């Protein structure tokens, strides 16, 4: 594992048993998240980004899920653990303490019958040795930090008494309570309106700067990526197709899929123009996929693309899984 | 790779349940053909016998063949239970539809009336009816039918409320369909499957309640006997000749179990998240073929 | 919270009165002439008949009879038994301990065992334990309570030779009398509540806030009991309150089979002898108790679920 990475996902495969058969949701993903970095994981619905993220915490139902590959995590004390090989009972010591996660819809992610103060304190009680008054004080600190005021009064309220945006702030407070190294945000702003979305992103950016933790931001929204991510990985059909710094991703995207995605972002000020879409649909993950998964929809696809899975190649922190990396540069409208 | 269709309704357990139920129902319909003896034929010489070749389940205290009594008794038990459910459905479903669809004061009124009915634990109202109108299977059936109405009605009502908000109802109204048409030809069919779950459960409950009433002498009157009455008659002999109780007891348990299982299976079929997945070992085997 | 309780209580009062009217009406619709019942079927003189009519208020209009009866009920006087010519209230009070004890014990046993079994089955979903228990539950629920009672008596007499039935004279005998019947009465309650607990727990264990709790690194036990169960218990309470109604009725059957001197056997007696004051009184009492229990259940809902309190 790289010495400045805190999470290293190596050749991760996740197979999920569903009523319709086995779904190969993640088909060989490599991902490195560095210390202090905000890493975006972008892709359309069903491409496997959430499954990859949840695997870092092994949140899947172990009776229905089959993992292969490695996920290495560098703990706060410097030691390295292989998450997929940890015995079940050691997982709670990682969850919340080393890696924390917040989810898409905060209104259903909080227990409706417990006060929010309780839910934050519970986290502290589980992972720290602090005394009750200390826990209480820290909880109020956290609420203040995320902008829930007056903290004392609101800590005694129940989730249904908060709006979506405030509930997400509470989730963030909860997630940060034990100083994790990595915060995974799974579509954290998708369920919020645009203004609130901006506020939450601003909050996350601010907190990240102050605390210096890493973030894995899962989203299908390139705007979010552009707003706060340092680096980003684009996923398609269970594989990462491109990884680079956000600047380069927008300036010089190499993978045809990335380019097509960026192309299809609607632009304001150009009314009357047709929306650009990518023809076709992602392949079904119930069947094995031969060759490049994007080939059926790619205008540059060759026979090689259809037969052989392209490896990740590239230099200088910009990698791409395409036989024709860089093809069709002229098509990109500058963002 | 060929996938087994995990979403079928007629799985093996369901088929067995339905087959056994069909057996019971057919036996009761064709009772005169199936039963070896006349259920009321006395034969004092052969009384209180253990099961033999001649009398497969033995005889009771006045020499009547238990098996025949069981088969003929099933007619009354099943028919009465069916009658109870039919009454509750005839009154309950329209009430529920109307209550849920129109809402407002009509809904309030209906709910209030049902509150009063619901305040009576089921058999208590039956006791009252019987006390007042005399002991007969008819009083029992009517009383139970009334007591079962709120359950069906409220279920239908909440289903109707759910359906009412859906776009197809709005479009039907905008086309100009009459309310009655919308209710019966559009909303009701969508509720049928959930209501059926409740109905099968109710038939089972009705069998139990009616048996209880007969046991207390408040249901069927002699000489007709249903399973509950058979239990009452056999009660005195439970130590010496348990078969008099075991036979009707098992019959009741078996039949109600079958209806409960049927209801369970319908419910599981309707709720896609409850369908069973193949065990983990199979998952590994299946995944092995796909991982490259 | 106090306001909520008050509101609910006020809603029950009209129902109680409506129920009393229904009970009264049904009894009055009976073709049996109460005077005949009171006089024991013997041929009587005109004087005797009018004396009876005055004593039992049959000479007054029906509405007045109802009001007199209700006035009595609210002051604790349930009227006079036709057959025994004594106060119904005293008869009821004498029998209350048995019925109350029966219902209380069986509810307690039922709820504790059921919830424990339900949670166990939900957590160990689809294992052998779960499947076996589920089958047992289905059979229990399909068994009429009087049959279970009969079988338990049979079993008891084979095992210990002694069967405790009939009246009691002290606390120890009281408990002896109630132990086995409470068990028999609790069986169907256990079965239904365990099933609902199981279904409800399974549903809650799949919910988003449980996923959050897992991601927070909370221990499995705490998730089950402190998070999931609190949410899962709400539909369980609903089923439980309906079941208590079934229990009230079931106690009548159990008392019959075990020959216990409770309200149930008094009620059956009253039905058989057309002793309407007893039938009316006990029915109204049982309904009243049931309504109160429902009220308590509503209060329990509000105590658990803050969203209800704010309605």
Do C95 and C67 share a structural domain? no
Q: Which of residues C47, C74, C101 is at a domain's end?
A: C74
**Cβ atoms B80, B210 nearer than 8 A:** yes
**C86: DSSP letter:** S
- The pLDDT > 70 percentage for chain B reads 90
Do C163 and C67 share a structural domain? no
Task: Say which residue, B8 or B260, is predicted with more confidence.
Answer: B260
Do C227 and C136 share a structural domain? yes
- B5 part of contact set with chain A, CB < 8 Å: no
- Asked if the Cβ–Cβ distance from A66 to B278 is below 8 Å, we say no
**Does C44 fall in a domain?**
yes
Task: Tell which B residues from 7 to 66 touch A, by Cβ distance under 8 Å.
Answer: 7
Q: What is the pLDDT of residues C144-181, one digit of tens each?
A: 888 888 888 888 877 776 666 667 777 777 887 888 88
Interchain CB contacts (distance < 8 Å): A and C:
71
- Asked if the Cβ–Cβ distance from A112 to C307 is below 8 Å, we say yes
Domain tally for chain C? 2
- Asked if the Cβ–Cβ distance from B116 to C256 is below 8 Å, we say no
Reference B211, options C147, C149, C249, C185; nearest CA is C147
The CA distance from A6 to A245, in Å, is 17
Full domain range(s) for residue C280: 89-306
- Asked if the Cβ–Cβ distance from B260 to C16 is below 8 Å, we say no
Domain architecture of chain B: domains with CATH: 2-291 (1.10.3720.10)
Within 8 A by CB and 6+ apart from A327, the residues are A256, A300
Full domain range(s) for residue A56: 5-93+219-334
Task: Say which residue, C53 or B84, is predicted with more confidence.
Answer: B84
Q: Does residue A176 have a cis bond before it (omega within 30 degrees)?
A: no
Of the ranges C63-77, C84-98, C106-120, the best mean pLDDT one: C106-120
Task: Give me the helix-helix angle, C276-304 and C88-123, nearest 10°.
Answer: 40
**Does C311 fall in a domain?**
no
Do C140 and C6 share a structural domain? no
The CA distance from B211 to C167, in Å, is 27
Within 8 A by CB and 6+ apart from A256, the residues are A294, A298, A299, A300, A322, A324, A327, A328
Within 8 A by CB and 6+ apart from C101, the residues are C174, C178, C182
**Cβ atoms A8, A2 nearer than 8 A:** yes
- B62 part of contact set with chain C, CB < 8 Å: no
| Closest Cα in chain A, distance from residue B162 (Å) | 21
Residue A26's Cβ-side half-sphere holds a number of Cα atoms within 13 Å equal to 26
Nearest to B283 among A17, A27, A288 (CB): A17
- C87 part of contact set with chain B, CB < 8 Å: no
- Asked if the Cβ–Cβ distance from B287 to A15 is below 8 Å, we say yes
DSSP run (H or E) holding C186: helix C171-205
Question: What is residue A184's predicted lDDT score, i.e. its pLDDT?
Answer: 95
The CA distance from A227 to A201, in Å, is 8
Question: What is residue C241's predicted lDDT score, i.e. its pLDDT?
Answer: 83
Do C276 and C130 share a structural domain? yes
pTM, two decimals, is 0.81
Do C241 and C139 share a structural domain? yes
Question: In sequence order, what are the beta bridge partners of A186?
Answer: A218
Q: Span C84-97, mean pLDDT?
A: 84
| Closest Cα in chain B, distance from residue A8 (Å) | 21
**Does C122 fall in a domain?**
yes
- Asked if the Cβ–Cβ distance from A21 to B278 is below 8 Å, we say no
Q: Which chains touch B (3 or more CB pairs under 8 A)?
A: A, C
Question: In sequence order, what are the beta bridge partners of A102?
Answer: A185
Q: Where are the alpha helices (DSSP H) in A146-255?
A: 151-154, 164-176, 194-211, 222-228, 246-251
**Cβ atoms C218, A126 nearer than 8 A:** yes
**Cβ atoms B179, B115 nearer than 8 A:** no
**Does C83 fall in a domain?**
no
Do C203 and C58 share a structural domain? no
The CA distance from C170 to A113, in Å, is 45
Question: What is residue B207's predicted lDDT score, i.e. its pLDDT?
Answer: 93
**Cβ atoms A261, A278 nearer than 8 A:** yes
Task: Tell which A residues from 21 to 80 touch C, by Cβ distance under 8 Å.
Answer: 57, 59
Contacts of B291 in chain A (CB under 8 A): 13, 15, 24, 68
**Cβ atoms A71, A82 nearer than 8 A:** yes
Q: What is the pLDDT of residues B72-105, one digit of tens each?
A: 889 899 999 999 999 999 999 999 988 888 888 8
**Does A52 fall in a domain?**
yes
**Cβ atoms A43, A49 nearer than 8 A:** yes
Residue C245's Cβ-side half-sphere holds a number of Cα atoms within 13 Å equal to 23
Do C109 and C62 share a structural domain? no
User: For residue B208, what is the nearest residue in chain C, using CA coordinates?
Assistant: C144
Residue A290's Cβ-side half-sphere holds a number of Cα atoms within 13 Å equal to 4
Tokens 């034990």 map to which residue? A178
The CA distance from A224 to A197, in Å, is 9
The CA distance from C299 to C4, in Å, is 8
Interface probe with B: pick from C125, C147, C156, most Cβ of B within 10 Å = C147
**Does A106 fall in a domain?**
no
Q: Where are the alpha helices (DSSP H) in C87-170?
A: 88-123, 128-141, 145-159
The CA distance from A38 to B280, in Å, is 37
Interface probe with B: pick from C142, C204, C279, most Cβ of B within 10 Å = C142
The CA distance from A280 to A294, in Å, is 10
Question: What is residue A118's predicted lDDT score, i.e. its pLDDT?
Answer: 92
The CA distance from A96 to A114, in Å, is 19
Question: What is residue B291's predicted lDDT score, i.e. its pLDDT?
Answer: 40
Task: Tell which C residues from 138 to 167 touch B, by Cβ distance under 8 Å.
Answer: 138-139, 141-147, 150-151, 153-154, 157
Nearest to C249 among B122, B217, B239 (CB): B122
Q: What is the pLDDT of residues B204-241, one digit of tens each?
A: 999 999 999 998 888 888 777 888 888 888 888 877 87
User: For residue B213, what is the nearest residue in chain C, using CA coordinates?
Assistant: C253
Do C69 and C148 share a structural domain? no
Q: Does residue A89 have a cis bond before it (omega within 30 degrees)?
A: no
Q: What is the CATH number of the domain that holds A19?
A: 3.40.50.300
Question: What is residue C128's predicted lDDT score, i.e. its pLDDT?
Answer: 85
Q: Is the CA virtual torsion C71, C16, C107, C153 positive or negative?
A: positive
**Cα separations (Å) of B200 from B149, B190, B249?**
14, 17, 20
Task: Collect all residues from C whose CB is shorter than 8 A from any CB in A.
Answer: 207-209, 211-219, 222, 227, 230-231, 304-307
Do C262 and C217 share a structural domain? yes
DSSP run (H or E) holding A239: strand A239-245
Q: Per-residue pLDDT for B2 more than 50?
A: no
The CA distance from C62 to C67, in Å, is 9
Question: In sequence order, what are the beta bridge partners of C244?
Answer: none
- Look at phi and psi of residue B193 and say left if phi exceeds 0, alpha if psi is from -120 to 50, else beta: alpha
Q: What is the pLDDT of residues C186-223, one digit of tens each?
A: 988 888 889 888 888 988 888 999 999 999 989 888 88
Domain tally for chain A? 1
Contacts of B198 in chain C (CB under 8 A): none
**Does A166 fall in a domain?**
no
Q: How many residues appear in chain A?
A: 335
**Does A18 fall in a domain?**
yes
**Does C80 fall in a domain?**
no
Q: What is the CATH number of the domain that holds C107?
A: 1.10.3720.10
- Asked if the Cβ–Cβ distance from B252 to C142 is below 8 Å, we say yes
Interchain CB contacts (distance < 8 Å): A and B:
40
Instruction: Give the confidence band of B115 by pLDDT, cuts at 50, 70, 90.
Output: confident
User: For residue C147, what is the nearest residue in chain B, using CA coordinates?
Assistant: B249
Three-state DSSP string of chain B: CCCCCCCCCCCHHHHHHHHHHHHHHHHHHCHHHHCCCCCCCCCHHHCCCCCCCCCCCCECCCCCEHHHHHHHHHHHHHHHHHHHHHHHHHHHHHHHHHHHHHCHHHHHHHHHHHHHHHCCCHHHHHHHHHHHHCCCHHHHHHHHHHHHHHHHHHHHHHHHHHHHCCHHHHHHHHHCCCHHHHHHHHHHHHHHHHHHHHHHHHHHHHHHHHHHHHHCCCCCCCCCCCHHHHHHHHHCCCCCCCHHHHHHHHHHHHHHHHHHHHHHHHHHHHCHHHCCCCCHHHHHHHHHCCCC
Question: What is residue C165's predicted lDDT score, i.e. its pLDDT?
Answer: 67
State the pairing for strand pair A38-42/A231-236.
parallel
Question: What is residue B1's predicted lDDT score, i.e. its pLDDT?
Answer: 32
- Asked if the Cβ–Cβ distance from C246 to B121 is below 8 Å, we say yes
Strands (E), chain C: none
- Asked if the Cβ–Cβ distance from A19 to B277 is below 8 Å, we say yes
The CA distance from B11 to B126, in Å, is 38
**C228: DSSP letter:** I
Instruction: Give the confidence band of B28 by pLDDT, cuts at 50, 70, 90.
Output: confident
Question: What is residue A327's predicted lDDT score, i.e. its pLDDT?
Answer: 54
Residues of chain A with pLDDT under 70: 1, 270, 326-335
- The pLDDT > 90 percentage for chain C reads 11
State the pairing for strand pair A231-236/A239-245.
antiparallel
**Does A49 fall in a domain?**
yes
Do C145 and C51 share a structural domain? no
The CA distance from C216 to A133, in Å, is 21
- Asked if the Cβ–Cβ distance from B7 to A19 is below 8 Å, we say yes
The CA distance from A7 to A32, in Å, is 6
Task: Tell which C residues from 214 to 253 touch B, by Cβ distance under 8 Å.
Answer: 245-246, 248-249, 252-253
Reference B78, options B176, B167, B192, B210; nearest CA is B210
Task: Give me the helix-helix angle, C229-258 and C263-272, nearest 10°.
Answer: 50
The CA distance from A199 to B141, in Å, is 65
User: For residue B203, what is the nearest residue in chain C, using CA coordinates?
Assistant: C142
Interface probe with B: pick from C250, C271, C278, C292, most Cβ of B within 10 Å = C271
Q: Report, in angstroms and rounded to the nearest whole number, the Rg of chain A calculated over CA atoms.
A: 21
Do C230 and C169 share a structural domain? yes
Reference C96, options C180, C174, C186; nearest CA is C174
Task: Tell which A residues from 111 to 140 touch C, by Cβ distance under 8 Å.
Answer: 111-114, 122-123, 126-127
Contacts of A112 in chain C (CB under 8 A): 209, 231, 305-307
ipTM of the complex: 0.86
Question: What is residue B210's predicted lDDT score, i.e. its pLDDT?
Answer: 92
User: For residue C136, what is the nearest residue in chain B, using CA coordinates?
Assistant: B257
**Does A130 fall in a domain?**
no
User: For residue A158, what is the nearest residue in chain C, using CA coordinates?
Assistant: C306
- Asked if the Cβ–Cβ distance from B287 to A19 is below 8 Å, we say no
Q: What is the pLDDT of residues B133-162, one digit of tens each?
A: 888 888 889 999 999 999 889 888 888 888
Question: What is residue C52's predicted lDDT score, i.e. its pLDDT?
Answer: 79
């Amino acid at each position: 594992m790289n010495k400045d990475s805190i999470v290293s996902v190596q050749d991760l495969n996740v197979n999920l048993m569903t009523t319709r058969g086995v779904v190969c949701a993640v088909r060989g993903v490599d991902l490195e998240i560095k210390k202090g970095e905000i890493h975006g994981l972008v892709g359309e619905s069903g491409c496997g980004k959430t499954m990859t993220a949840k695997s870092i915490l092994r949140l899947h139902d172990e009776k229905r899920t089959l993992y292969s590959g490695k996920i290495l995590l560098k703990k706060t004390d410097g030691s390295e653990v292989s998450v997929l090989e940890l015995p079940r009972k050691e997982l709670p010591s990682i969850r919340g303490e080393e890696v924390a996660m917040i989810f898409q819809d905060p209104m259903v992610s909080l227990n409706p019958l417990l006060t929010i103060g309780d839910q934050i304190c519970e986290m502290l009680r589980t992972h720290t040795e602090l005394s009750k008054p200390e826990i209480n004080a820290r909880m109020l600190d956290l609420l203040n930090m995320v902008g829930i005021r007056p903290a004392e009064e609101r800590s005694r309220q129940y989730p249904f008494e908060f709006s979506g945006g405030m509930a997400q702030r509470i989730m963030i407070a909860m997630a940060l309570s034990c100083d994790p190294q990595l915060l995974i945000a799974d579509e954290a702003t998708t369920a919020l309106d645009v203004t609130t979305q901006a506020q939450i992103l601003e909050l996350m950016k601010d907190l990240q700067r102050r605390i210096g933790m890493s973030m894995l931001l899962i989203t299908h929204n390139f705007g979010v990526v552009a707003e706060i991510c340092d680096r980003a990985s684009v996923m398609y059909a269970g594989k990462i197709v491109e990884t680079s710094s956000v600047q380069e991703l927008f300036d010089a995207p190499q993978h045809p899929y990335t380019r097509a995605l960026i192309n299809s972002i609607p632009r304001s000020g150009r009314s009357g123009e047709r929306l650009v879409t990518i023809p076709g649909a992602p392949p079904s993950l119930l069947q094995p996929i031969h060759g490049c998964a994007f080939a059926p929809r790619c205008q540059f696809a060759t026979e090689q693309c259809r037969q052989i899975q392209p490896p990740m190649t590239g230099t200088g922190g910009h990698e791409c899984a395409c036989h024709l990396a860089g093809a069709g540069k002229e098509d990109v409208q500058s963002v | 790779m060929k996938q087994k269709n995990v979403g079928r309704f007629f799985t093996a357990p369901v088929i067995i349940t339905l087959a056994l139920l069909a057996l019971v129902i057919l036996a009761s319909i064709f009772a005169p053909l199936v039963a070896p003896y006349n259920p009321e034929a006395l034969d004092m010489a052969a009384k209180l016998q253990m099961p033999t070749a001649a009398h497969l389940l033995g005889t009771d205290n006045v020499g009547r063949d238990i098996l025949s009594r069981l088969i003929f008794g099933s007619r009354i038990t099943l028919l009465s239970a069916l009658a109870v459910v039919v009454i509750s459905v005839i009154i309950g479903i329209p009430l529920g539809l109307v209550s849920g669809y129109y809402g407002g004061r009509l809904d309030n009124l209906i709910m209030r009336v049902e509150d009063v009915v619901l305040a009576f634990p089921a058999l208590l109202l039956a006791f009252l009816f019987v006390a007042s109108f005399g002991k007969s299977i008819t009083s029992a059936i009517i009383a139970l039918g009334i007591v079962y109405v709120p359950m069906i009605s409220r279920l239908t009502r909440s289903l109707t409320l759910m359906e009412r908000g859906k776009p197809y109802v709005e479009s039907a109204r905008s086309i100009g369909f009459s309310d009655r048409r919308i209710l019966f030809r559009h909303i009701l069919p969508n509720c049928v499957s959930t209501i059926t779950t409740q109905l099968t459960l109710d038939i089972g409950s009705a069998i139990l309640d009616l048996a209880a009433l007969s046991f207390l002498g408040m249901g069927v009157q002699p000489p007709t006997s249903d399973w509950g009455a058979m239990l009452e008659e056999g009660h005195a002999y439970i130590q010496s000749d348990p078969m008099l109780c075991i036979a009707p007891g098992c019959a009741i348990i078996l039949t109600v179990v079958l209806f409960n299982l049927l209801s369970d299976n319908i419910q599981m079929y309707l709720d896609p998240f409850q369908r069973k997945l193949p065990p983990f070992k199979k998952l590994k085997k299946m995944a092995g073929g796909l991982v490259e | 919270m106090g306001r909520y309780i008050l509101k609910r209580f006020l809603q029950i009062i009209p129902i109680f009165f409506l129920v009393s009217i229904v009970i009264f009406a049904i009894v009055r619709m009976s073709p049996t002439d109460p005077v005949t019942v009171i006089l024991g079927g013997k041929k009587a003189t005109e004087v005797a008949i009018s004396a009876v009519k005055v004593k039992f208020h049959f000479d007054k209009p029906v509405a007045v009879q109802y009001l007199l009866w209700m006035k009595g009920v609210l002051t604790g006087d349930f009227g006079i038994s036709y057959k025994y010519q004594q106060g119904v209230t005293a008869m009821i009070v004498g029998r209350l301990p048995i019925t109350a004890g029966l219902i209380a014990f069986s509810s307690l046993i039922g709820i504790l065992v059921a919830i424990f079994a339900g949670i166990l089955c939900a957590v160990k979903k689809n294992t052998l334990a779960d499947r076996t228990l589920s089958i047992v539950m289905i059979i229990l629920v399909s068994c009429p309570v009087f049959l279970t009672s009969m079988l338990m008596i049979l079993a008891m007499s084979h095992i210990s030779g002694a069967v405790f039935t009939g009246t009691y004279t002290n606390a120890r005998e009281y408990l002896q009398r109630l132990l086995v019947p409470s068990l028999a009465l609790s069986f169907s309650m256990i079965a239904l509540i365990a099933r609902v607990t199981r279904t409800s727990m399974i549903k809650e264990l799949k919910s988003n806030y449980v996923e959050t709790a897992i991601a927070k690194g909370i221990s499995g036990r705490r998730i089950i009991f402190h998070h999931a169960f609190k949410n899962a218990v709400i539909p369980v309470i609903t089923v439980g309150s309906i079941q208590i109604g079934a229990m009230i009725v079931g106690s009548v059957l159990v008392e019959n089979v075990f020959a216990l001197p409770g309200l149930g056997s008094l009620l059956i007696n009253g039905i058989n002898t057309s002793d309407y004051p007893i039938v009316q009184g006990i029915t109204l009492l049982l309904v009243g108790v049931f309504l109160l229990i429902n009220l308590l259940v509503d209060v329990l809902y509000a105590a658990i679920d803050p969203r209800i309190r704010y309605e």
